[in-house]
Structure 1
């Protein structure tokens, strides 16, 4: 799930404060309506013009530029599960970088900036740059759409990347790459339009909420395949609710996360309209201080109530994992209807167990009003009342002391089990990644077999040739290694693979029976010229230039077989910086 606590901290706190100051009575459900923070001017979030619809699904070239820069600098998260267009753009970028030293210089400066602003957490690292991308004018400007003092804190802390990003985009002709791949973006949008529309309509239908005409608020959905599919980012800026997501390799999207944000879009105005009723619930905040909640939910009752309501709605409409019985279209005999009613009752019992399990989990995570609101929503399902017409009574009619007592008896999950924090899952190895693991474990035969199978499918697979080249080095077969490495240089567009191919060749020339130092130096220089921009690559190439590569010394052995063991130019026993990752 996506973590929304920090993302909503500023808007919710501001709205709550404004709401509190606009009302004076808490004695009735119909509190004075408060307004959310006003948005000054028609901001073009993500470079998108303000249209006549409150709900928009768009691509964004400014987000594309941010994603392209991150990918050029080693952002590989969930790459194998990403849409093929992500790899296509990366290949286009690598080709542009190979053809231009100026582009490589620009890339290196961007990468250095990104590295210097590493927050030590993959989710937060990505989030700060996505946040900035949302608030940019489209290329070639790539300037903030608002005053720097009004940028979100995470975006403001990386805003100085923009001059570097503009140079990178210009020197790599990033706009042409965007134009070349734009049709695939449009195809994805067309493909997900219907399921996204259904998710939105289903939410409105459940809440008896009509899809309103444009009222100044927007729900913006940006699709950007250059980010990991597991990374869904959400933002609220004034009256605009924004979601940035990426499709998977099979063009699937995490609609549950998009719907979660859409429920914020629907529910928050209802909560904001009753600040005095929410103030009555403040004693509940004391009960959640030890819960694994983010700071905003422990200190802002509006934020906590909103999230509890959304989680209650999600529990009511969740997919329980088994189908609901269909009412027979034709009833031929009474037993048909009796069977349907029995099946339906059984379904409801089983479904309730699944739903209640989710509610219990949310309660133990600290969303202590979820169970109460879940029950109230169940009652509403038997009426034709809309949530917006009933929410005043639901909130104002709550027995606060009873809910405090319930919350005090909850055994919260420990800090380490917070499931709501969005994190990119560890990528599961497959294909030639498994062959790399075999080679790492010393199973050369197994790795070689997998490489051969990959080449049988595609003789021009650079990763397979790269794998076979290193196996040949370990097998003391320099001729085969040289042939395979040359194939890699012809076929690969990946800067890291190319750079390390040159490093391997340099080490081979340094360690052959008659060392060829000039050729080794030429290879190390070629590795630096590729500009992989990774520190270990630079260290290894520069070390090779300073002095010839030397295989690690071995202790004396009485075994002729061990004495005749070939020198390992891979330097596996050298310090970590010399080894490619």
Structure 2
């Protein structure tokens, strides 16, 4: 099995890619004729989370740069990750040392020998470890994650420099990017690249051990969901193996369209990894595009969010219906396909008597009954931990399996056919456990830029900074002009320039297609006209806001209030001339019953 070296273009291990390709035909037969007519063997059959324009803008991790048409699923190692993992080991990272693969101890011993023979190496180690200590986080998982994040965006040694602009690094990686000069010096002083090359056979052996179980997991998952194994077209699933890390600390993260799992093999049994956690991340890779492609049509499912407010879930799942549905569907798939821990009856090779087949059928019926009890117990636990839709999706998946259709074919009916009132009522009857589970797959927050960064600056009070970004966006031919006009109009209000605000809101109405932005532009204009005062124009704007049908309760309430009574800016009497010292604030933020400003368009 070929090994990734410093000089080679990072790409998947050939044996893994080739075996996946060799069984594509098997999978295509397994998913059935209907799946074959619906999709090809490329990932074009799976809807992308983002469009192609967005993909070109999104920085990808340096560890893998597959070509279009190649495998979207790769098993790799990374010398940059190795270097950072070694640095952590040298600086006191001993987690799960006894349970690790033997190569971890071997490399640590060789590093200690190099340090013992070189004063320069010891000095560079001390400087490196001083930096590590100063940047240690209280949460051990987050502490390790920041170094993994950084390693994924590094050019290979000896450069060890960021492969993207520092502003494009994951936020946690920017916290420790200044470790790189110290790491380069340490690496040179202990001849770390030579140690990496020396232990290539050990790494190769470990990747060989995980290759077949990983391939089996990928294929079995796709066969169950009746989905083809996709080729690379911008989305990818990557498993990185690094034995210098703790076997218990599987680290999974999503960077835009890249789904990455960093795993460490155990020493006993040799090469074992947490395949269930790798599979959970792979299910995110498979399921998320189907669910997120329907995100805009899930407004009717919002009532379900009220039922989970007291559940032991992270805030994300209490505020984002799409995230909740995705995780519940994944857990339902895991329940349907779990190892129930029972021995399945063996079909008799040759049936000589009718009693043999009858006995087998009876044994299978009992096995199915016992297996269903085990699965149902897992589903009930998930529900009590807050994943209230697992039971619903578990039943739907059972129907899908009986009808031999694919998840792609059935996902629409699963989501759109849901009886929301029934599921909400069912969820309200659940007695939640005091503590729940937390998804170990983390979606790396993207660095804000453009109008997203402008929104953050405006919320933080940096009006000037937000205005500069809005002007820069308007000056760019490819900029989001609608959002920039909307931003500039609100800045005009804060700077008491109502005439300029009216012009920019009107430009927003001409350029934006986002219902929420359009509705709130009309509301702002209505309030401005009320302040002038020009009640006739104000009423027309409030009515226009309702016509847009944003669908959000705050929009409807603000527009209806404007129709009911004229808006009066704080400190002003209605129908009176504005006082020179009174702020013109059509946002109404100073009112006791103030509304929440609309969120930035997605």
If the TM-score is normalised by the length of the shorter chain, which range does it land in?
0.5 to 0.7
Asked if the contact 2:60/2:258 (under 8 Å) is kept, the reply is: no
Residue 66 of structure 2 corresponds to which residue in structure 1? 50
Q: How does 1:205-220 map to 2 (within 5 A)?
A: 205-220=223-238
Residue 279 of structure 1 corresponds to which residue in structure 2? 299
Q: CA deviation at 1:41?
A: 6.6
Q: Are 1:225 and 2:243 matched, yes or no?
A: yes
Q: CA deviation at 1:278?
A: 2.5
Q: How does 1:73-472 map to 2 (within 5 A)?
A: 73-249=91-267, 250-415=270-435, 418=437
Q: In structure 2, do the counterparts of structure 1 residues 47 and 262 end up closer, same or farther at CA, with 3 Å as the change threshold? A: same
Q: Are 1:39 and 2:39 matched, yes or no?
A: no
Asked if the contact 1:81/1:229 (under 8 Å) is kept, the reply is: yes
Q: Which structure would you say has the larger RCO, counting Cα contacts within 8 Å and 6 or more residues apart?
A: 1
The C-alpha deviation readout for 1:477-508, integer Å capped at 9, x for no partner, is: xxxxxxxxxxxxxxxxxxxxxxxxxxxxxxxx
**Structure 2: gaps (5+ residues):** 1-45, 442-602
CA distance in structure 2 between the aligned counterparts of 1:293 and 1:75, rounded to whole angstroms: 30
Secondary structure at the counterpart of residue 298 of structure 2:
helix
Asked if the contact 1:44/1:137 (under 8 Å) is kept, the reply is: no
The C-alpha deviation readout for 1:195-242, integer Å capped at 9, x for no partner, is: 100000000000001112222211111000010000001111122111
Q: CA deviation at 1:151?
A: 2.1
**C-alpha RMSD over aligned residues:** 1.9
Q: In structure 2, do the counterparts of structure 1 residues 46 and 70 end up closer, same or farther at CA, with 3 Å as the change threshold? A: farther
CA distance in structure 1 between the aligned counterparts of 2:238 and 2:440, rounded to whole angstroms: 22
CA distance in structure 2 between the aligned counterparts of 1:169 and 1:137, rounded to whole angstroms: 14
Secondary structure at the counterpart of residue 74 of structure 2:
strand
Asked if the contact 2:305/2:318 (under 8 Å) is kept, the reply is: yes
Query: If the length of structure 2 is used for normalisation, what is the TM-score?
Result: 0.62
Asked if the contact 1:43/1:145 (under 8 Å) is kept, the reply is: no
Residue 63 of structure 1 corresponds to which residue in structure 2? 81
CA distance in structure 2 between the aligned counterparts of 1:194 and 1:409, rounded to whole angstroms: 44
Q: CA deviation at 1:42?
A: 9.0
**Structure 1: gaps (5+ residues):** 1-31, 423-581
The C-alpha deviation readout for 1:303-327, integer Å capped at 9, x for no partner, is: 1111111100000110001122232
Secondary structure at the counterpart of residue 290 of structure 1:
coil
Q: In structure 2, do the counterparts of structure 1 residues 263 and 34 end up closer, same or farther at CA, with 3 Å as the change threshold? A: closer
Q: CA deviation at 1:245?
A: 0.1
CA distance in structure 1 between the aligned counterparts of 2:232 and 2:427, rounded to whole angstroms: 39
Asked if the contact 1:135/1:145 (under 8 Å) is kept, the reply is: yes
CA distance in structure 2 between the aligned counterparts of 1:106 and 1:289, rounded to whole angstroms: 51
**What is the total number of aligned residue pairs between the two structures?**
390
Asked if the contact 2:252/2:440 (under 8 Å) is kept, the reply is: no
Asked if the contact 1:55/1:218 (under 8 Å) is kept, the reply is: yes
CA distance in structure 2 between the aligned counterparts of 1:350 and 1:35, rounded to whole angstroms: 39
Asked if the contact 1:277/1:395 (under 8 Å) is kept, the reply is: no
CA distance in structure 1 between the aligned counterparts of 2:58 and 2:198, rounded to whole angstroms: 29
Asked if the contact 2:291/2:326 (under 8 Å) is kept, the reply is: yes
Q: In structure 2, do the counterparts of structure 1 residues 34 and 221 end up closer, same or farther at CA, with 3 Å as the change threshold? A: closer
